Amino acid sequence: MTTYIEGIQKNFKKSQENRGRLLINCPDKPGIVAAVSKFLCLNGANILESNQYTTDPEGGSFFIRIEFECLGLQEKKQELKEKFLPIAEQFSMDWKLVLVNELKRTAIFVSKELHCLRELLWEWQGGDLITDIALIISNHEDAREVVEGLNIPYYYIPASKKNRKEAEARQLQLLEEYNVDFVILARYMQILTEDFIAAHPNKIINIHHSFLPAFVGAKPYNRAYERGVKLIGATSHYVTNDLDEGPIIEQDIMRVDHRDQIEDLKKIGASIERSVLVRAVKWHLDDRIIVYGNKTIVF
């Protein structure tokens, strides 16, 4: 029997079967937009949305995201990629062509605090987070009941400094087995190794409970309280080898004052974390993010 979520995904894939996205990053020069637009037109594509940005009109970098409709796109995908190669080479493009109805497969990592996980699952159940949640991995058992009630595979893998390599080897094995496209760290309170990050570059999204670059690392709410801040926030970013310093995707803040204790800050912050992480994940799923050095262009 088809579940409600499977029905949503089936309808989405059907409605988007001829829709594609083209993301491009290259040195800026005249003629890029004209060449790309002409290529799409000559291949029967109708542009639905186009966003572009140039870092510097003279010698800068150029970014563009184009969403288009093209009849028979499923069959044309490889042909379009091959035909586009001369244009990509002409303009020294870093580019990718994405079919919208090919849902990204997601893995969620979580520890004991479940508010971000619950928000992601709520959006997913409501059809507002269009992805295949392939599995959920945790170093605690706290989320098992929530997850297994939704028929999502749940793996408990204890992780600490003592067994980090063994734990990550098992995690990487599972990500490969489930053919995962990207990873969400929904308050997963473990530091990932360089090998793990290298296996999924710019495909691991973290939520940090602070408005980075302030209060990097552990216990940011405690340090915010000690500092007497008047604003607290959360930051979603791609994970790199530098702790909490990867390319920032989204941030938000809320005002606090001297009456708020540490537990108050945590409660307020949890609300910010949920919304910031969900927005970042949705933008990733919609292919709206281009990583540029240690920054992001978000269309």
Q: How far is CA 153 from CA 57, 138, 261, in A?
A: 49, 11, 38
CA atoms within 13 A on the CB side of 136: 29
Say whether 244 is catalytic. yes
* Rounded Cα distance, 71 and 135, in Å: 33
Of 260, 270, 180, nearest to 234 by C-alpha is 270
Q: Which of 94, 128, 181, 244 is catalytic?
A: 244
Query: By three-state DSSP, how is residue 194 classified?
Result: helix
Tokens for 45?
């594509």
Q: Is the CB of residue 49 less than 8 Å from the CB of residue 66?
A: yes
290: left (phi over 0), alpha (psi -120 to 50) or beta: beta
Chain-centre distance for alpha carbon 143? 21
* CB count in 10 Å sphere of residue 15: 11
Whether the CA torsion 124, 127, 128, 130 is positive or negative: it is positive
Which run of H or E residues covers position 297?
Answer: strand 295-298
* Rounded Cα distance, 233 and 60, in Å: 32
Q: Using only the alpha carbons of the chain, give its radius of gyration.
A: 21
The catalytic residue positions are 244
